[in-house]
């Protein structure tokens, strides 16, 4: 017994099945994550968001002039067409923000005037932040917020998401969290993007499919669900009781567990430290940190399931004054860069993604005319 999946049998959730060779990133069961060969802590500690995005897209850290022209290319394309904002507004106040962004990206696919592949991708990468920041405001009839010309990419997203002032340290924390959300090998949405790319559909189509798969609470939606849970529990002393009831009712705890990381998620470890440091520097109330820690301790003691990135990113966003419905949109604004790297890698050596299935239904049935059919 080797532990390798039997290729003639369907593997539920494709667990343990390799479906692509990639040079972009790799997460591993031992809690390691590499971006283009660099350990994640090396990148999160030293690089900036634009640099990391360039690295993920191009395979190498940029020189000064490459970084400048990449950043300028994004800046030039950040203006979202009024027609797209109009479509977002039309969706109305009850629209889910990820549905709003997905609809806007579909509209962009028809409206955008970019001619070549690189221009289309950069347009998506630049505009996704603006769409994300406005995905909750504009459908409620509020005025759109726009990027400012001379800000870092992450500072720009933050100032569109909230008017709350952040210190330099807090802004750097937000940038680091964005870098951690930027890419994560073959997660559900990146796989979806590759499947769409393999049909030779354009990047707008691939990104809107990626957004669709990001919506669910088992993937991108987990950060919002985790925050809602933390806000419900409130008191660190109540973490144990909350979990006891949830286990009894066989409910999943959002922000915990991962297909790959079984011991720890390195991104969650980094974010836990950022949250602790951020609240310590503020010198005020650290209840939220203590609540997260109590949940983590109890989950590990009872189930040996570690927290994932979403669990510790959510309280960071909350402490920065960002409204909960914007957490999954933030994920999309970062992951678009990873999606485009996967789109390009798929096309470098493309073969239509069309897996096999194991048929387990009946066969050789005889057609029965409708008037002769019975229930059951």
Ligand X SMILES: CC(C)(COP(=O)(O)OP(=O)(O)OC[C@H]1O[C@@H](n2cnc3c(N)ncnc32)[C@H](O)[C@@H]1OP(=O)(O)O)[C@@H](O)C(=O)NCCC(=O)NCCS
Between 122 and 214, CB nearer to ligand X: 214
Between 137 and 335, CB nearer to ligand X: 335
For the bound state, the minimum distance from the C-beta of residue 302 to ligand X, rounded and expressed in Å, comes to: 9
If DSSP codes are grouped into helix, strand and coil, which group holds residue 198? coil
For the bound state, the minimum distance from the C-beta of residue 260 to ligand X, rounded and expressed in Å, comes to: 8
Binding site for ligand X (CB under 6 A): 13, 218, 222, 252-259, 303, 305, 308-310
Catalytic residue among 258, 265, 285, 286: 258
Read off the tokens for 342: 């996967």
Contact 61, 55 (CB under 8 A): yes
DSSP states of 252-296 = --TTB--SS-SS--HHHHHHHHHHHHHHHHHTS--HHHHHHHHHH
Between 40 and 222, CB nearer to ligand X: 222
CA angle 14, 258, 196 (to 5 degrees): 45
Between 107 and 299, CB nearer to ligand X: 299
Between 120 and 342, CB nearer to ligand X: 342
Contact 246, 232 (CB under 8 A): no
310 as an active site residue: the answer is yes
Catalytic residue among 112, 155, 310, 342: 310
d(CA 180, CA 266): 10
For the bound state, the minimum distance from the C-beta of residue 234 to ligand X, rounded and expressed in Å, comes to: 20
For the bound state, the minimum distance from the C-beta of residue 134 to ligand X, rounded and expressed in Å, comes to: 25
**Residues 6 or more apart in contact with residue 176 via CB below 8 angstroms:** 44, 270, 274
Contact 229, 204 (CB under 8 A): no
Helices (H), the chain: 40-46, 49-58, 64-76, 82-90, 97-111, 117-134, 153-161, 168-181, 188-197, 203-214, 222-233, 239-248, 266-282, 287-303, 309-319, 327-348
Nearest residue to ligand X, by Cβ distance, number only? 257
116 as an active site residue: the answer is no
For the bound state, the minimum distance from the C-beta of residue 129 to ligand X, rounded and expressed in Å, comes to: 21
Q: Which residues does the annotation mark as catalytic?
A: 258, 310
């Amino acid at each position: 017994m080797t532990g390798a999946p039997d290729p003639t049998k369907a593997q539920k959730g494709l667990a343990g099945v390799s479906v692509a060779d990639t040079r972009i990133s790799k997460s591993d069961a031992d809690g390691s994550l590499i971006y283009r060969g660099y350990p994640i802590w090396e990148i999160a500690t030293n690089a900036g968001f634009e640099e990391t995005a360039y690295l993920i897209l191009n395979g190498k850290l940029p020189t000064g002039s490459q970084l400048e022209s990449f950043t300028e290319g994004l800046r030039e394309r950040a203006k979202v067409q009024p027609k797209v904002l109009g479509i977002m507004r039309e969706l109305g106040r009850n629209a889910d923000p990820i549905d709003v962004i997905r609809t806007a990206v579909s509209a962009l696919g028809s409206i955008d005037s970019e001619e070549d592949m690189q221009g289309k991708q950069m347009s998506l990468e630049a505009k996704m932040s603006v769409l994300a920041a406005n995905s909750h405001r504009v459908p409620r009839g509020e005025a759109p917020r726009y990027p400012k010309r001379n800000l870092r990419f992450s500072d720009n997203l933050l100032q569109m998401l909230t008017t709350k002032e952040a210190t330099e340290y807090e802004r750097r924390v937000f940038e680091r969290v964005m870098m951690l959300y930027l890419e994560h090998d073959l997660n559900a949405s990146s796989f979806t993007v590759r499947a769409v790319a393999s049909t030779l559909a354009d990047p707008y189509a691939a990104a809107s499919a990626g957004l669709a798969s990001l919506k669910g609470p088992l993937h991108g939606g987990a950060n919002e669900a985790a925050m809602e849970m933390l806000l419900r529990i409130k008191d660190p002393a109540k973490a144990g009781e909350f979990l006891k009831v949830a286990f009894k009712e066989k409910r999943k705890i959002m922000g915990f567990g991962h297909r790959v990381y079984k011991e720890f998620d390195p991104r969650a470890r980094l974010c836990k430290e950022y949250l602790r440091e951020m609240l310590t520097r503020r010198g005020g109330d650290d209840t939220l940190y203590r609540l997260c820690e109590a949940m983590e301790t109890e989950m590990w003691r009872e189930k040996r399931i570690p927290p994932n990135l979403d669990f510790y990113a959510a309280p960071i966003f909350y402490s920065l004054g960002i409204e909960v419905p914007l957490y999954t949109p933030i994920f999309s604004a970062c992951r678009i860069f990873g999606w485009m790297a996967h789109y390009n890698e798929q096309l470098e050596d493309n073969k239509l993604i069309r897996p096999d299935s194991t048929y387990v239904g009946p066969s050789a049935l005889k057609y029965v005319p409708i008037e002769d059919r019975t229930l059951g």
